[in-house]
Chains A and B, each alone.
Chain A
């Protein structure tokens, strides 16, 4: 670990903290339907969309209608994307002549982009036409992100409102999020990326003759426009197979910095939106503090493990020490321009949020360096999290935390003046139990079936980690991978597709139910017996609950994969 590495990490943290308040204020205005500086441009467009869709943006929906609207919208998107991939060969914008996507892969991919997962079981530059990349995948980058944010806002309204029937209007939240938040920022960030070297064209792949006279085909495309929303919407689906490690997606240190800031920006700022809407910004900062502590812990472990490197390589007489002339450390699967600090930082951020973009190959991380991203997702991606999903995941843990605190003192728990009763706790537990059920369940099936065992590229405990990571990533809607696994098979396409569905929608429905039930409640005035939820005690309690729930659930599985591999690596055992 180097001083410069830590300075880069600190700069990132400062940038996020500075962003939270102004961006949170802006989003609060957007979702309250107030005027913003973009209203003169977007206002007419927004009203036009409502008119076309026959929507009254001011009418409040109850939790069930809100949830049904969201599900219908996602169903339409899923079917449309599936059709687009199956038909790409006969549609325009296909200069590379890609053929129709095979059915199980099309199912998996449509589910993947519909659920904000962006798991990619294919090599994009060799599979998808420009039309699919733009009108299919980029669109879902926008709308799946907007869906997540809308849901988080709905839950926050549940806390903020009193004795209310409705939790907002899904169509209005979706439209406003897309027009006022996602689109403008994507335009600015996308153009910045082009300036820094990210291609944006619709031409055929370039044929170059190299200095040594060989032929090199260079894949191109409308990369920058997808890159911006891929990060901002915590989608993570790469235009190219190597994702943000590809020099065209992420040409340098400054694009890398902007990309990681984009990943965290909305998720972090939503904590402030939460604080503002419930009328006490400290509540938002407390939630962000929980996220920050868990994030820093992950960065410490991952950076240390990657900088320490692989003793098996050092043993061969290779110089892996850090110096002004090289970053050193575990450079297998990493790019020189990012070195160790930026690769480890990116890996933690992309899995803390549900982004899943990578600028280094996680499969080649050291065992403990790879454990951090895995565990981050298993905790439910509540460290900032996916846009929206992170906040509602964290609030579920906050509900469990006040419930635990209530049990300790024998008092009905309250959170933000709302009594947390049996219904909310049941629903929160239901949502939280979905993760282990799907992750461990599918992993168990895959490790005892021939179709599952055909997947891993690495032998020994690392092979198990690859399978565990695949279902963790799918269920957590992350999309990153221990990418050695051959996941483009009928078995993996189907099971990971189901895991993505379960992880997204089976978590959302109980969550929306909580929002509806909370909105209907009265506010209980705070008394001397009220547990304050903006102080260090609360922060510590939530961190504890998260680590205990996550640790108890996943430690046995982690012990079989990365932990045992760590000791094997130290002992010099190879597989």
Chain B
């Protein structure tokens, strides 16, 4: 039995070098060479500075932008680091709400959001993804239904004809992969960048 101690130690060390250092470092080298944009987080640059990642949602609260889904991410409280405060779309601390289906806090939160959205676009049905937090808190997408829902508000705020905004959303709807996998969606950051570009044209 004792003679198994040497292989136990040697194997652990050798496999650590192979799978824990050579493998990830070599993968990093190859990835940086072949897919540099993706390997570095698919960043969107403007004048050489990052304005975000096309894969990571960001917080939009101004009425002139399309909004993403509610986000449950948090950050340490600056006043007391043992506590945390709400910090939507904190991309250094991904997390969902973890509220269960019978949680009073969940239903009250949704009720509040529903009231706000009803005031904004009375008469329209409220898409469920617009009042529910995503799993990561960083969901870059909304459903096409949620984008359509916001068209009147955005058009009004930007003094654009609704048809113009509608056409922009139409162009940003991404379909299923090969028509089968996944769900139709709209990337909110890309849509908003296009919206800003529309103005400056």
Chain A residues whose CB sits within 8 angstroms of the CB of B103 once the complex forms: 458-459, 462, 574-575
Chain B residues whose CB sits within 8 angstroms of the CB of A333 once the complex forms: 96-99, 132-135
Looking at chain A's contact residues, is the secondary structure mostly helix, strand, loop, or mixed? mixed
Chain A residues 151 to 182 lying within 8 A of chain B, measured CB to CB, are 171, 174-175, 178, 182
Q: How far is the CB of A41 from chain B (nearest CB, A)?
A: 13
- The verdict on A87 contacting chain B, using a C-beta distance below 8 Å, is no
Decide: A364 and B100 in contact? CB cutoff 8 A.
yes
> How many A-B pairs fall under 8 Å by CB?
402
Decide: A326 and B138 in contact? CB cutoff 8 A.
no
Residue of A nearest to B185 (CB): A336
Q: How far is the CB of A492 from chain B (nearest CB, A)?
A: 15
Chain A residues whose CB sits within 8 angstroms of the CB of B65 once the complex forms: 211-212
Known: A76-B8, A212-B62, A248-B41. A337 touches B94 (CB 8 A): no
Decide: B181 and A208 in contact? CB cutoff 8 A.
no
Chain B residues whose CB sits within 8 angstroms of the CB of A11 once the complex forms: 180-181
Residue of A nearest to B69 (CB): A336
Looking at chain B's contact residues, is the secondary structure mostly helix, strand, loop, or mixed? mixed
Residue of B nearest to A132 (CB): B20
Chain A residues whose CB sits within 8 angstroms of the CB of B53 once the complex forms: 206, 208, 218, 248
Chain A residues whose CB sits within 8 angstroms of the CB of B16 once the complex forms: 80, 135, 139
Chain B residues 11 to 34 lying within 8 A of chain A, measured CB to CB, are 11-12, 14-16, 18-21, 23-25, 27-28, 30-32, 34
Docked pose: A319 CA to B110 CA in angstroms: 12
Chain B residues 145 to 162 lying within 8 A of chain A, measured CB to CB, are 145-146, 148
Docked pose: A208 CA to B19 CA in angstroms: 32
- The verdict on A568 contacting chain B, using a C-beta distance below 8 Å, is yes
Decide: B15 and A332 in contact? CB cutoff 8 A.
no
- The verdict on B86 contacting chain A, using a C-beta distance below 8 Å, is no
Decide: B24 and A226 in contact? CB cutoff 8 A.
yes
Chain A residues whose CB sits within 8 angstroms of the CB of B51 once the complex forms: 208-211
Chain B residues whose CB sits within 8 angstroms of the CB of A65 once the complex forms: 1, 4
Decide: A575 and B31 in contact? CB cutoff 8 A.
no
Chain B residues whose CB sits within 8 angstroms of the CB of A335 once the complex forms: 134-136, 139, 141
Docked pose: A229 CA to B139 CA in angstroms: 24
Decide: A337 and B24 in contact? CB cutoff 8 A.
no
Residue of B nearest to A368 (CB): B101
* The one of B1, B110, B118, B136 that contacts A246, using a Cβ cutoff of 8 Å: B136
Decide: A569 and B102 in contact? CB cutoff 8 A.
yes
* The one of B7, B27, B106, B132 that contacts A190, using a Cβ cutoff of 8 Å: B27
Docked pose: A457 CA to B96 CA in angstroms: 13
- The verdict on A443 contacting chain B, using a C-beta distance below 8 Å, is no
Q: Please encode chain A, from 349 to 371, with 1 for each CB lying within 8 Å of some chain B CB and 0 for all others.
A: 00000000011110111110000
Residue of B nearest to A571 (CB): B102
Chain A residues 38 to 53 lying within 8 A of chain B, measured CB to CB, are 45, 49, 52-53
Q: Please encode chain A, from 501 to 539, with 1 for each CB lying within 8 Å of some chain B CB and 0 for all others.
A: 000000000000000000000000000000000000000
| Range of interface residues on A (Cβ < 8 Å) | 35 or more
Q: How far is the CB of B110 from chain A (nearest CB, A)?
A: 6
Chain A residues 194 to 237 lying within 8 A of chain B, measured CB to CB, are 194-203, 205-212, 214, 216-220, 222, 224-226, 229
Chain B residues whose CB sits within 8 angstroms of the CB of A459 once the complex forms: 103-104
Decide: A203 and B40 in contact? CB cutoff 8 A.
yes
- The verdict on A257 contacting chain B, using a C-beta distance below 8 Å, is yes
The residue among A65, A142, A246, A312 with the most chain B CB atoms within 10 A of its own CB is A246
Chain B residues 35 to 90 lying within 8 A of chain A, measured CB to CB, are 35, 38-43, 49-53, 55-62, 65, 69, 89-90
* The one of A123, A310, A367 that contacts B95, using a Cβ cutoff of 8 Å: A123
Give B residues with C-beta under 8 Å from A: 1, 4-12, 14-16, 18-21, 23-25, 27-28, 30-32, 34-35, 38-43, 49-53, 55-62, 65, 69, 89-104, 106-107, 110-111, 114, 118, 125-129, 131-146, 148, 176-177, 180-185, 189, 192-193, 196
Q: What are 28 A-B residue pairs whose CB atoms fall within 8 Å in the complex?
A: A53-B6, A123-B93, A125-B93, A134-B21, A135-B20, A139-B16, A142-B15, A182-B19, A194-B27, A210-B51, A218-B53, A219-B93, A222-B27, A229-B19, A247-B138, A248-B41, A252-B182, A326-B143, A331-B132, A332-B132, A333-B99, A333-B134, A335-B135, A336-B129, A342-B181, A358-B135, A364-B98, A574-B102
Since A73-B8, A319-B127, A327-B143 are in contact, a sample of 6 more A-B pairs with Cβ atoms closer than 8 Å, ordered by chain A residue number, is A53-B7, A211-B192, A217-B90, A245-B96, A326-B144, A482-B100
